[in-house]
Chain A
Amino acid sequence: DAGVTQSPTHLIKTRGQQVTLRCSPKSGHDTVSWYQQALGQGPQFIFQYYEEEERQRGNFPDRFSGHQFPNYSSELNVNALLLGDSALYLCASSLAGGNSYNEQFFGPGTRLTVL
């Protein structure tokens, strides 16, 4: 079992550009959540996808958008990048509709640097 995979590992962009990050969930998982982890902070919830729809969203602007595909993989898109978007972006998958009590399995993350 490959677990949760994310690509790319690292990414460098300039302000104003757009970026797409990708995530494949753990086999059998149907729910994908995205988090932003700034240096020295805990993960901050961006949004969660279930059945190809955004089910819940954290306090992030509309520049952050996502998508879930029929095979449960997911993309995170960020438009009009700001310096403050530099962070580790984590994808997490979970089972059975992402019930609140199910633990999440995290990928290794994508390190985004905005110059």
Chain B
Amino acid sequence: AQSVAQPEDQVNVAEGNPLTVKCTYSVSGNPYLFWYVQYPNRGLQFLLKYITGDNLVKGSYGFEAEFNKSQTSFHLKKPSALVSDSALYFCAVRGEGGSYIPTFGRGTSLIVHP
């Protein structure tokens, strides 16, 4: 069975500082990995995905994520946080073949302080 862990319920960072939101996964075969962001009373918005290729993936709004196969991790990063980045972030994984069912993590609340 596939699973996703987001070990931090909340991440606090000062505006202008780098941010990291952690995600580890478990899946059979090669993973397809995704990050989504959810603002209050809104649906999820796609940020970036890893399918294959370069381990560093660049996405929307200056976010990037690093795929690490040996550590089964896909941490979300941004060099300089903005107050407007404050939101709920979800990591998701799908297996390479067969199942279309994605598994989402519980989410990490990112709070960027002015």
- Contact residues of A with B, CB < 8 Å? 4, 33, 40-45, 48, 55-56, 58, 90, 92, 98, 100-101, 103-109
Contact = CB atoms under 8 A, between A and B. Distances in A.
B90 A43 contact: yes
7 contacts: A41-B106, A42-B105, A42-B106, A43-B90, A55-B100, A106-B44, A108-B43
Nearest to B109: A40
Interface string B88-99: 001010111101
Interface of B: 4, 32, 34, 36, 41-46, 49, 51, 90, 92, 94-97, 99-107
B96 to A, nearest CB: 7
Contacts of B97: 100
B104 A106 contact: no
A41 B104 CA distance: 9
A17 B102 CA distance: 29
B41 A108 contact: yes
A74 to B, nearest CB: 15
A48 B100 contact: yes
Contacts of B49: 101, 103
Contacts, number: 60
Contacts of A41: 106-107
B40 to A, nearest CB: 11
Contact of B46 (A33, A55, A56, A104): A104
A56 B43 contact: no
Contact of B96 (A40, A58, A100): A100
A36 B5 CA distance: 18
Nearest to B102: A45
Contacts of A92: 43-44
Contacts of B46: 103-105
A67 to B, nearest CB: 18
A55 B98 CA distance: 11
B100 A108 contact: no
A86 B49 CA distance: 30
A103 B95 contact: no
Q: Which of B4, B100, B103 counts the most chain A CB atoms within 10 A?
A: B100
